[in-house]
C-alpha cells in the first residue's frame, strides 16, 4: 500500500481477485459444511411436529459426526475468514465509494455477510466455552443469523460469479496477465493460511475426535476430564439433583397401563449394555459403556402403542434441559436405555444418578439426567 495518498494504492497481487477466489472457495466450503451440520443439529434438537417421529436413531454416531464437523468447520473458518478479509480489504477503499444503486446494494450485502460471519463465528466459539457475555439467547439468534449469512453469501457468489469462474482453476483466465514473481508469494500466503487452518483444527478437534485428544490444546472441555472419565456440563449440585437417595427414588411411567418402580425393581429388570457417545452440542464428545433397562421394554410394559412418542422428565426442578422427547425411532431402538451404570460403575450423581437416558444418534442436551418420569404421548 502506498501511504499518503487517498484512496491508497495497493500494488500487492495478494490482494487480487485470484487470491480472494482461492481462499473464498475454502471459506465457502467451510461455511456450507457448518450451515448444513448446523441445520441437522437444529432439527434434531427442535423437530417440528411433522418431523418428530421421523428422526432416525441410526447411525448411532451420526450426531457425534455432524456436530463434530459443525464445530470443526466453524473453527477452521476463523483463519480463513481473517485471510479472506485481509485479501479483500483494499476494496474498502474503492473510489468512488458508491457507483450506482446496484453497487450500493452489493456493498450492503457484503457488509451483512462480514458482520454476520464474524458474529456467527464469535458466538459459536464462545458457546463452546459456555460463556455467554451477551443479553440474548444464543440458540435462536445463532440460528437466525445463520440464514442471514447464507442469504448474503449466495448473493455475494451470484454477484461475483464472473470473477469466481475466471479465477477458479490454475489455468484460469487472467493468470497469464500476472507477473511471474507473484506465484511464490501467493503460494506462500496460501500455504500459511493452510497451516493456520491445520493448526487450529488439529489442536481442537480432539474434543470430539478422541484419537487426537492428546494434541487437544485449545478446547474448553477435555473429553477425559470429569467423574468416570466423562465431562460434565451441569453438575448434580448445580441442578439441585444431588440429594436423590435410592430409598426415595421412584420411576413413574405413564401410559395406558401406568406404573411406578423403585430403584431395586429397576435393577432387577433385564439389564443391557451399550457403547454410545455423549455428543454435546458445545463440541465435546465421548463414548462410554452404559448399562441399564431398555426404554422400549419399559414402554411395552405401560401398554404404549408402537408409534408412541415419549416425554422424558428429570427430577431436576428447573433448567432448560430437564425435559426431552423421544420420537418413535429413538423410543423403539434397543440401544436406547434408561442407564443405571456407566463404564462398570453406578452412575456418578453428575452423570444422572440414579438413572439417565442414553440413546443413539442424539444431541447431548437431550440425554436427560436424573430421570424420574417417562410419559407415553399418544
Ligand atoms: N436433567 C438434565 N439433563 C441433562 C443436562 C441438564 O442440564 N439437565 N445437560 C445435558 C447436556 S447439555 C449434556 S452434554 C449431557 C452431558 O452428560 P454428562 O454430564 O453425563 O456428561 O447431559 C444432558 N442432560
Ligand atoms: Mo451439552
Residue 369 Cα: closest atom of ligand 1: 3
Helical axes 17-45 vs 182-202, angle rounded to 10°: 20
- 231, 284 in Cβ contact below 8 A? yes
Coil/strand/helix, residue 247 = coil
Q: What is the pLDDT of residue 180?
A: 56
Calculate mean pLDDT across residues 299-326: 96
Cα–ligand 2 centroid distance for 365 (angstroms): 4
User: Which domains, ranges and CATH numbers included, belong to the chain?
Assistant: 17-215 (no CATH), 230-377 (3.90.420.10)
Ligand 1: residue whose CA is nearest its atom 5: 321
- State pLDDT tens for residues 284-297: 999 999 999 999 99
How far is residue 7 from each of residues 1, 3, 10, 15, measured CA to CA in Å? 10, 9, 9, 15
Q: What is the pLDDT of residue 172?
A: 54
Q: Which ligand sits closest to the CA of 313?
A: 1
- 144, 138 in Cβ contact below 8 A? no
Cα–ligand 1 centroid distance for 377 (angstroms): 23
Residue 4 predicted with pLDDT over 80: no
Angle at 7 between CA 3 and CA 9, to 5 degrees: 55
- State pLDDT tens for residues 216-262: 998 888 999 999 999 999 999 999 999 999 999 999 999 999 999 99
- Rounded CA separation 32/281 (Å): 18
- 340, 347 in Cβ contact below 8 A? yes
Residue 266 predicted with pLDDT over 70: yes
The rounded percent of the chain whose pLDDT value lies above 90 is: 83
Q: What is the pLDDT of residue 318?
A: 86
- State pLDDT tens for residues 193-207: 999 999 999 999 999
- Rounded CA separation 120/115 (Å): 9
The mean pLDDT of the chain is 93
- State pLDDT tens for residues 107-153: 999 999 999 999 999 999 999 988 899 999 999 999 999 999 999 99
Q: Which residues are placed with Cβ below 5 angstroms of ligand 2, an ion? A: 233, 280-281, 364-365
Cell numbers that stand for 347 in this block? 452412575
Q: How many CB atoms lie within 10 A of CB 123?
A: 17
299 CB near ligand 1 (under 6 Å): no
Q: Name which residue leads in pLDDT, 93 or 286.
A: 286
Cell numbers that stand for 318 in this block? 428447573
Q: How many CB atoms lie within 10 A of CB 311?
A: 15
- State pLDDT tens for residues 20-33: 999 999 999 999 99
pTM of full prediction above 0.85: yes
Q: What is the pLDDT of residue 9?
A: 75
Q: What is the pLDDT of residue 179?
A: 58
128 CB near ligand 1 (under 6 Å): no
How far is residue 79 from each of residues 33, 150, 198, measured CA to CA in Å? 16, 19, 10
64 CB near ligand 1 (under 6 Å): no
- State pLDDT tens for residues 164-173: 999 988 665 5
Q: What is the pLDDT of residue 181?
A: 60
Q: What is the largest CA-CA distance in the chain?
A: 83
Nearest to 305 by CA among 240, 377, 363, 208: 377
- 228-257 burial, b for 16+ CB within 10 Å, e for fewer? bebbbbbbbeebebeebeeeebebebbbee
Ligand 1: residue whose CA is nearest its atom 21: 232
- 67-85 burial, b for 16+ CB within 10 Å, e for fewer? bbbbbbbbbbbbbbbbbbe
Coil/strand/helix, residue 212 = helix
SS3 content of the chain, % helix, strand, coil (to 5): 50, 15, 35
Cβ within 8 Å of residue 174, ≥6 positions away: 17, 18, 166, 167
Q: Edge to edge, what strands does the sheet with 371-377 contain?
A: 259-262, 250-254, 371-377, 309-314, 323-326
Residue 322 Cα: closest atom of ligand 1: 1
- State pLDDT tens for residues 52-83: 999 999 999 999 999 999 999 999 999 999 99
DSSP designation for 354: T
- Rounded CA separation 92/217 (Å): 36
Residue matched to cell numbers 404421548: 377
Calculate mean pLDDT across residues 146-163: 95
Amino acid at each position: 500500500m502506498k501511504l499518503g495518498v487517498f484512496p491508497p494504492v495497493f500494488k500487492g497481487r495478494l490482494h487480487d481477485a485470484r487470491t480472494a477466489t482461492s481462499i473464498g472457495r475454502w471459506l465457502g466450503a467451510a461455511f456450507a459444511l457448518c450451515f448444513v451440520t448446523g441445520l441437522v443439529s437444529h432439527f434434531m434438537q427442535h423437530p417440528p411436529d411433522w418431523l418428530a417421529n421421523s428422526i432416525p436413531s441410526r447411525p448411532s454416531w451420526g450426531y457425534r459426526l455432524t456436530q463434530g464437523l459443525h464445530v470443526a468447520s466453524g473453527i477452521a473458518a476463523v483463519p480463513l475468514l481473517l485471510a479472506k478479509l485481509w485479501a479483500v480489504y483494499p476494496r474498502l477503499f474503492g473510489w468512488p465509494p458508491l457507483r450506482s444503486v446496484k453497487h450500493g446494494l452489493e456493498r450492503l450485502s457484503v457488509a451483512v455477510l462480514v458482520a454476520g460471519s464474524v458474529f456467527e463465528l464469535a458466538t459459536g466459539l464462545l458457546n463452546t466455552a459456555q460463556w455467554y457475555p451477551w443479553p440474548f439467547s444464543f440458540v435462536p439468534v445463532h440460528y437466525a443469523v445463520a440464514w442471514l449469512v447464507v442469504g448474503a453469501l449466495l448473493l455475494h457468489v451470484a454477484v461475483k460469479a464472473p470473477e469466481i469462474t475466471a479465477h477458479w482453476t490454475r489455468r484460469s483466465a487472467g493468470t497469464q496477465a500476472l507477473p511471474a514473481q507473484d506465484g511464490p508469494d501467493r503460494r506462500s500466503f496460501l500455504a500459511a493460511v493452510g497451516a493456520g487452518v491445520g493448526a487450529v483444527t488439529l489442536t481442537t478437534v480432539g474434543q470430539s475426535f478422541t484419537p487426537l485428544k492428546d494434541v487437544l490444546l485449545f478446547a474448553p472441555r477435555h473429553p477425559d476430564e470429569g467423574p468416570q472419565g466423562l465431562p460434565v456440563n451441569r453438575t448434580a449440585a448445580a441442578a439441585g439433583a444431588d440429594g436423590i437417595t435410592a430409598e426415595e427414588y421412584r420411576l413413574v411411567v405413564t401410559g395406558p397401563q401406568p406404573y411406578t418402580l423403585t430403584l431395586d425393581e429397576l435393577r432387577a429388570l433385564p439389564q443391557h449394555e451399550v457403547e454410545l457417545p455423549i455428543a454435546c452440542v458445545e463440541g465435546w464428545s465421548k463414548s462410554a459403556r452404559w448399562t441399564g433397562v431398555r426404554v422400549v421394554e419399559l414402554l411395552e410394559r405401560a401398554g404404549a402403542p408402537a408409534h408412541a412418542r415419549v416425554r422424558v422428565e428429570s427430577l431436576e426442578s428447573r433448567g432448560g434441559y430437564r425435559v426431552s422427547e423421544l420420537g418413535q425411532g429413538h423410543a423403539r431402538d434397543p440401544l436406547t436405555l434408561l442407564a443405571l451404570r456407566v463404564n462398570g460403575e453406578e452412575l456418578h450423581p453428575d452423570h444422572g444418578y440414579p438413572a439417565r437416558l442414553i440413546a443413539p444418534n442424539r444431541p447431548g442436551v437431550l440425554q436427560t439426567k436424573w430421570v424420574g418420569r417417562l410419559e407415553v404421548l399418544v
